[in-house]
Structure 1
Amino acid sequence: MMTFKLRFANIALMALYSLGAVAQSSENYSWTNLPKARQPVFKQDTVRITAYGATPDGHTLNTEAIHKAIDAVNKKGGGVVLVPAGLWMTGPIVMKSNINLHLSENATLLFTPDKTQYALTEGFYEGKSAARNQSPISGIDLENVAITGKGIVDGNGDVWRAVHKSQLTESHWKEKVASGGVLKDDGKTWYPSQQFKDASTGNKSMLLTAGKKPADFADMKDFLRPNLVVFNNCKKVLLEGVTFQNSAAWCIHPLMCEDLTIRNVRVKNPEYAHNGDGMDIESCKNFLIEGCTLDVGDDAICIKSGKDEEGRKRGMPTENGLIRNNIVYNGHGGFVVGSEMSGGARNIFVQNCTFMGTDKGLRFKSVRGRGGVVEKIYAKDIYMKDIAQEAVFFDLFYFVKFATDGARDMREVVNEGTPVFRDMHFENIVCNGATKGVFIRGLAEMPVRNIVMENMVLKAEKGIELTDGDQIRFKNVKLITEHTKPVIFIENGTQIRFDEISYNDKSDVLISVNGERSADIKMDNTDFSKAQKTKELSNGAQDKSLTLK
């Protein structure tokens, strides 16, 4: 199923570049077969939840009836648990192996707002062990499991999450305040309960440190928002056709799973949903995400692998995946890696995706202390419109505030906490509307390295900004920018290649090179006469650092 002809680098060949010592070139690219995600197979036996007393009145709690149906089918060797059309109120559902939970068209699983129904449990928060409320749908150590159909899974997330006044319209804010809950002392944030407010304003930790157990967090239970769907350490997982919406935190979270398929699902969260990610694929192996539509409050399709030392000790990269034919309407990023990527990520192919109105398009983020190696990421045929910030974004200073401009330039010792982003190829990228076309910011001690970007048309306010990048190649790139002073900005870049660059007529400055560490920057096959000034050098950059042919 996952055999595709993609003009990307042969994975075996790419292993030669794992140390970043040799720059990639288009000559190294060939057609290749990708790993296959094995599909779950189920018996034809079907049991309706109504056979165990479920009632679709939107009020009756159907948790027990649904679990009885799941248990009965599981004991018979597996099959389909059918949720017919209707509005089915329920508490948390725990899946079992060999179960296909099938939601008919017009069937909605609406999870109860009664938080007492959700047990405190050991889970994960942004890559670290943490106390959480039980997820509405969960499964641990399963094989052959699916959620399919044309129905809706609704997490009733508004009863769980806080919201800032600035995120809502005036009328919506008034409705929220009138619904109950409490306000922050400054009146600008609504909390669902006093317990939530106390935990939030008191910066209480939910992490399960040594000697802590979930029950110890009872005094902040309301604050421990659950992810909507969590499959942990499962094999052959399928999500297909269903709408997943209104999650309290992350929406779909497969963790340490193998052979994962997410196909033709819709994921919807409000724009104001804090941590309202669409899909967080964490430490998973062999996966396919195709034909999905996302409109969410945080990152849309996100690759993760644990955070900091805990993620490095787990040592499970997210690897061998294809993400294709997806549409993202809103989110902090269309396709995202990080920032919790301490276990690494590799061999991921992103093809034929459209991002419309996201904050960023292709987004890569990390920070000192994370560690992890992100490599062999390939993106092809990516189409973007009205991107609020950067179309292509690398930043190894995620959430870092600089006291001085020089702080960013300070080199630290490379160790296991140093994140590495290298060996990637992006091809056929079109963006109509962004603040910046390309933004790359590596570390002084560990530049973003060995990135090829070719056949791109980027319409943005600014063109390319690159700091601490090494072996970066741009080929056949058209930059349509509002600001042209300069079109391209390089700071402490090395081995940078520009080939066939197109830009606006009468641009002020084509390229500005800054920093004494800048070296071996070359631009070829480009019409320099269109710029009023071809180059600028500043802050220690030497004339020999830049060659124009």
Structure 2
Amino acid sequence: MFKIIKSISFICCLSLCLNAYSQNFYNVVKYGAKNDSSKLATQAISKAIAAASKAGGGTVYFPAGKYLTGPIHLKSNITIFIDAGAELHFSDNFDDYLPMVKSRWEGTEVTNFSPFFYGYELENIAIVGRGKIDGHGKKWWAFSEVHVKKLTEDSKWQKEFKRLNKDVLAPDLPGWIERGFLRPPFIQFMYCKNVQIKDITIVNSPFWTVNPQFCENVTIDGVTIENPPSPNTDGINPESCNNVHISNCHISVGDDCITIKSGKDRSGRKLNVPAENYTITNCTMLRGHGGVVIGSEMSGGVKKITISNCVFDGTDRGLRIKTARGRGGVVEEIRVDNIIMKNIRDQAIVLDMQYAKTDVEPISERTPAFRNIHFSNITAQVNQAAYLNGLEEMPIENISFNDINIDAKSGFKIKNANRISFHNVQVNTKMGSAIVAENVKDLVIDDVKSYSPIKGVPLIDFMNVEDAFLYNSYPVKGTDIFLRLKGELTKDITVKNNLLKHVVTPVLKEKEVKIDVVAD
């Protein structure tokens, strides 16, 4: 008898729990949404969100089926649950994304078309589930800057944009603001706390795909993003956020796979909100201009970033940090570890401070800086091993490469940099030197090797390098020249503790080099 009563009690308790749980679920079909895509579900979804919000929060549930919708505006304490077999198809009627809302577009504050998922000053929000969301971005792509001639000056959208953005703080260089027509991001949450995007599949974004702005505590986990070759359809772009966790994602897009940004030019410097405390791990990235990219919009600064345990296969570049004069901002405290790259069209690693061609100028708030950036445990098959290009007035500083193994057409090229170090780096090139350094100070080269020596080509090539220490290297048979020195500013070069028995010419000096170097 006692067992029977106990069982009944358990069942009743379970039933009450399930009932309480189901009361926090708001099925959009019950609010009028059609799961056969026969009717625009925007209003029905809005009603479900409002009902959940009125109750203090809950889960807005999409059962299996196809839904046609316009923008979805979240409220605090709302989870959007897109179940397996459910697909949200977003309308490509531009009018559905009016009225325009507060947004940020490529690092500049604007009022623009509503993002497809949007939230402003919210907390505890999520988009989860094994379902799919489709942005049907093709119509939007036709109005990118690539196809700007298709946009007439008197379009109603252009007029509305210009009316709402008369006082916008435009970027330093001319560009999109003159067009007055901008595509919306797919998912953009602004000034929100405790954001989660998990397990969903996202396809055909109109512009940047997942774009939290000024958010705190953001988790993006297990998300698949598939955009075809298309303009500016970056994968994940957390901008000026704090405490961001990106993991277990699979990304193949029309632009950069994951980018870290913090505002552009004057607008970014005015707000001065950095991107900081980001972790990116266990992700695969296929098609895209870059695997993980920082900048070029980084005027608020980027710091304390770790990138680990990722595979890039087929991207144009692997890890890329880019900026230009006029941006301002500092990129620092970056760690990249345990990365595999294959079929990379251009460079494995890029640190480029001259992304746009500009003239030398005095150091000011417009001057960007890269410093304290460290790469380790990287295996790559690429076109060029790395390209580091600082500014004459602001060299790249304190960069290290540890335990690197790269097969490449050409090796490392470094220009305008200070405090660069290589430790246990193998670069097998098809043409050119393993390391080329120009206008570099405080350079350490420890155990650098190449198993594909090229006749008449030095393993290491210096032009105007000052204070360099080369040690622990053991060039293989067939190495003609270990080190070549060029440039009248080259000085203080120390070559010690190397095994150079297979090298024909340990050090080759051009006529303008005035120093003596003894190699051993």
TM-score after normalising by structure 2: 0.84
State whether residues 105 and 151 of structure 1, in contact with CA within 8 Å, keep that contact through their aligned partners in structure 2. yes
1:479 equivalent to 2:427? Answer: yes
CA distance in 2: counterparts of 1:363 and 1:454, whole angstroms:
17
Deviations 1:297-332 (A, max 9, x none): 111111000111221221211111211000000111
Q: 1:361 aligns with which of 315, 318, 322?
A: 318
- SS of 2:354's equivalent in the other structure is coil
- SS of 1:71's equivalent in the other structure is helix
Deviations 1:152-190 (A, max 9, x none): 1111100111289xxxxxxxxxxxxxxxxxxx9xxxx76
Deviations 1:324-347 (A, max 9, x none): 000000111111110101111111
Q: 1:279 to 1:527 in 2, by over 3 A?
A: same
- Structure 1 counterpart of 2:242, one-letter code: K
- SS of 1:124's equivalent in the other structure is strand
In structure 2, the partner of 1:29 is none
Map 1:438-449 onto structure 2 (within 5 A).
438-449=386-397
Q: 1:206 to 1:510 in 2, by over 3 A?
A: farther
CA distance in 2: counterparts of 1:460 and 1:379, whole angstroms:
20
State whether residues 384 and 411 of structure 2, in contact with CA within 8 Å, keep that contact through their aligned partners in structure 1. yes
In structure 1, the partner of 2:182 is 224
CA distance in 1: counterparts of 2:384 and 2:164, whole angstroms:
37
Q: 2:91 aligns with which of 112, 116, 122?
A: 112
Q: 1:275 Cα shift?
A: 1.0
- Structure 2 counterpart of 1:486, one-letter code: S
Q: 1:50 Cα shift?
A: 0.5
- Structure 2 counterpart of 1:50, one-letter code: V
Q: 1:109 to 1:387 in 2, by over 3 A?
A: same
Deviations 1:11-52 (A, max 9, x none): xxxxxxxxxxxxxxxxxxxxxxxxxxxxxxx99711110111
Identity score, percent: 37
CA distance in 2: counterparts of 1:380 and 1:44, whole angstroms:
46
In structure 1, the partner of 2:66 is 87
Deviations 1:442-500 (A, max 9, x none): 011111111111001011111110001110111001111111x3221111011011111
1:522 equivalent to 2:487? Answer: no
- Structure 2 counterpart of 1:91, one-letter code: G
CA distance in 1: counterparts of 2:446 and 2:236, whole angstroms:
36
Q: 1:371 Cα shift?
A: 0.8
Greater C-alpha Rg? 2
Higher relative contact order (CA 8 A, sep 6+): 1
Q: 1:212 to 1:384 in 2, by over 3 A?
A: closer
Between 538-547 and 411-420, the greater mean CA deviation after superposition = 538-547
- SS of 1:65's equivalent in the other structure is helix
State whether residues 128 and 207 of structure 1, in contact with CA within 8 Å, keep that contact through their aligned partners in structure 2. no
- SS of 1:424's equivalent in the other structure is strand
Q: 1:278 Cα shift?
A: 0.5
CA distance in 1: counterparts of 2:168 and 2:319, whole angstroms:
40
CA distance in 1: counterparts of 2:164 and 2:433, whole angstroms:
46
In structure 1, the partner of 2:108 is 128
In structure 2, the partner of 1:431 is 380
State whether residues 259 and 292 of structure 2, in contact with CA within 8 Å, keep that contact through their aligned partners in structure 1. yes
Q: 1:125 to 1:460 in 2, by over 3 A?
A: same
Question: Mind listing any 5+ residue stretches in structure 1 that lack a counterpart?
Answer: 1-41, 165-183, 402-406
Q: 2:366 aligns with which of 417, 425, 435?
A: 417
Question: Mind listing any 5+ residue stretches in structure 2 that lack a counterpart?
Answer: 1-20, 171-175, 498-520
In structure 2, the partner of 1:338 is 295
CA distance in 2: counterparts of 1:104 and 1:269, whole angstroms:
21
In structure 2, the partner of 1:237 is 195
Aligned-CA RMSD value = 2.8
Q: 1:527 Cα shift?
A: 1.6
Q: 1:373 Cα shift?
A: 1.0
State whether residues 131 and 206 of structure 1, in contact with CA within 8 Å, keep that contact through their aligned partners in structure 2. no
In structure 2, the partner of 1:371 is 328
1:470 equivalent to 2:427? Answer: no
Q: 2:56 aligns with which of 47, 71, 77?
A: 77
Q: 1:89 to 1:192 in 2, by over 3 A?
A: farther
Q: 1:310 to 1:49 in 2, by over 3 A?
A: same
Moved over 6 A (4+): 196-199, 204-207
TM-score after normalising by structure 1: 0.80
1:391 equivalent to 2:348? Answer: yes
State whether residues 487 and 511 of structure 1, in contact with CA within 8 Å, keep that contact through their aligned partners in structure 2. yes
